[in-house]
Amino acid sequence: MSILIINGRLLLDNNIVDDKDLLIEDNKIAAIGKGLSGDNVIDADGNYVSPGFIDIHIHGSAGFDTMDGTFDAINAISKSIAKRGTTSFLPTTMTEDKNKIKNAIKNVYENKNHVEGAEILGIHMEGPFINPKQKGAQDEKFILKPTIDNFLELCGDYLDIVKLVTIAPEIEGSLNLIKFLKEKGIIVSVGHTDSTYDEVAAGFKAGITHATHVFNAMRGFHHREVGTLGAIFDLDISAELIADGIHSVSPAIRTVLKLKGKENTNLITDAMMAANLSDGVYQLGGQDVYVKDGAARLKSGVLAGSTLTLDKAVKNILANTDLSLYESVALASYNSAKVIGVHDRKGLIKEGYDADIVIFDDDIDIKKTIVGGKIVYEKK
């Protein structure tokens, strides 16, 4: 059954196009143009028709966490983030007990095709191969040595579901693991690290191509030893940002966009279970998290994930940079697709691409979310 979207303002070819309709057939964008017909018609009513957002770093939402290791958890996350325009994501694990990590990976592997909202594209393992000096809200007692054996023990028979691994390249054994991950087609990201420029450069040579929540949980910039941050700025490494004004303030975000370019920067949420809920006390990685005014912190005051959603992140970019709407959305869609190598089918309004589409108004208020040609959310 085909779907025709009419009267929309399409985010198409770096422009806003008002005079074309969009046809969906067999879960794909079949045609873009005039004079099209479909079995079902969606009237966009002058709202924007955009590629769906892609979140490659998200722990939880709506009271659930990836580490819960249940279908109910990842399904609740999937459905809740679809309401905010996210059409695909990487459920993200943390540095916790080995058996909990194993169970979380197994759960995503077995249930990824059954969720009812945003599509699961794989898993992002944030840890346990990190530096305790830059642990952030991760529990130091569960940090493991970065060895191939340790990695395979965690993944077991579910290696294929792992798409992205955050790692500290300065820890002994990391370079061999990075090379192994690259050979397996897994994206390696530098993060939770106290690495010098040279240590990041060695990791880059071994296979690092991305950087986890830039500025946060990494060695900062100094003009005589530029550290992790300076290496990210200098090397051909893509950079993800938490654009909530808490993890990264607007001048910092604008600096990354200037130094890395809008093509090499992407938006993530790093959201924990309090996303889409009110302030209160929640859990992340087995630790209590106190959410006040939308900021999530451990009792010590350390930031512990975010309560951000990608619609808000896009809105924040629009309000605080000179990027256009098309460019702002690309940071949350096509650029994230590029990081994990799915940009040949996701992240654009383009014929032949997956029909992952979000319809929103001038305030980025989500009206409708379509995943693989299926309407998974409609605002009442």
Which tokens go with 364? 């980025």
- Annotated active-site residue 45? The verdict is no
> Which SS3 state, helix, strand or coil, does residue 100 take?
helix
Q: Which residue in 314, 309, 308, 315 sits closest to 335, CA to CA?
A: 314
Distance CA 339, CA 122 (A): 13
**Which helix (DSSP H) or strand (DSSP E) does residue 65 occupy?**
strand 64-65
DSSP assignment of 19-45, as one string?
A: S-EEEEETTEEEEEESS---SEEEE-T
Distance CA 346, CA 137 (A): 31
Which tokens go with 63? 């009271």
Residue 128 preceded by cis peptide, ω within 30: yes
Amino acid letter, residue 192 = H
Angstrom distances, CA of residue 54 to CA of 38, 139, 302, 333: 27, 27, 26, 5
Please give the backbone phi and psi of residue 264, each rounded to the nearest 5 degrees, phi first. Answer: -115, 15
Distance CA 210, CA 216 (A): 14
List the beta bridge partners of residue 53: 86
Angstrom distances, CA of residue 81 to CA of 189, 204, 336, 338: 24, 32, 16, 20
Catalytic residue among 21, 244, 270, 356: 270
Sign, Cα dihedral of 46, 49, 55, 60: positive
Distance CA 311, CA 332 (A): 9
Distance CA 174, CA 151 (A): 11
Which residue reads 């605002």 in tokens? 379
Positions marked active-site: 270
